[in-house]
Amino acid sequence: MAELDGKIAVVTGGASGIGEGSVRLFVEEGARVVIADMQVERGEALAAELGDAAVFARVEVSQEADVKAAVDLAVSRWGRLDIIFNNAGFGGVIGPIEEIPVDEFDMTYNVLVRGVFLGMKHATPIMKKQGSGSIINTGSIAGMVSGYGPHAYSGAKSAVIQMTKSVAMELGEHNIRVNAICPGFIATPLSANCVGRPDELVEKVKSTFGKSQAIPRSGLPEDIAQMACWLGGDRSTFVTAQAMVVDGGCISGLKWADQRSFQREFHLTKFYRPDE
């Protein structure tokens, strides 16, 4: 039996990048999916390609009515909601702290934090009634370790991780699991700053990602999709309140070759003895 056989899912940001990779894998593994995204042309094309297993809904995740409509669409079309993957996001406002405009800061949090909150809020009543469900939120290594993202993005992803854990502690008694996935450097339109633009631009970032991590390649949307698929399926029923890092070893430290370089540079190639 397929990993997600018969399950119903909503994936926000489902028209490209990690979202698209997850939609494709979910369908391949037997799920039916609402593709919730602002990119109408791309979302409709993906739904048409996947046939009866998918439907597109135009959703701006900061808008409560849009998020609720996507959840309602899943229930009205297929009768239930087993998985919501609150994945939609963007890089947000950048720059030194004293130069960040307040309205752009607010917009960043509206998408990255409010959007996740709304997804959890509207999925919860359905899942409570069913007595089961898996809520998956996209965090980031930038929410765990400083220096991997802009200020607002890093703070927002940290908020997502903590909110994930808090909500998991509420919903566990209803057999609803809540987890976050924290990607590292993944080659997506978001990472290439080209959402809605040609996919060829994504290829340019692949050569720059992964050079200093344990697994020396760029992360791919499929890497995150595999984790989302596992968290949405029945093999992870004892896993909740977790921030699952999928980063090729990025935040764990220097890869061995880089450590050796560091050691050579600072003459740390033999044991230190106080009398030398």
Catalytic-role residue among 109, 148, 153, 272 = 153
Query: Looking up tokens 């791309």, which residue turns up?
Result: 42
Task: Decide if 148 is catalytic.
Answer: no
Cβ burial of 204 (10 Å; 0-12, 13-18, 19+) is: exposed
Q: How far apart are CA 64 and CA 226, in angstroms?
A: 28
Strand ranges (E), the chain: 8-12, 32-37, 54-58, 83-86, 133-138, 176-183, 243-246
213 burial type by CB count under 10 A (0-12 exposed, 13-18 middle, 19+ buried): buried
Residue spans of beta strands (DSSP E) within 27-162 = 32-37, 54-58, 83-86, 133-138
Q: Would you name the residues annotated as active-site residues?
A: 153
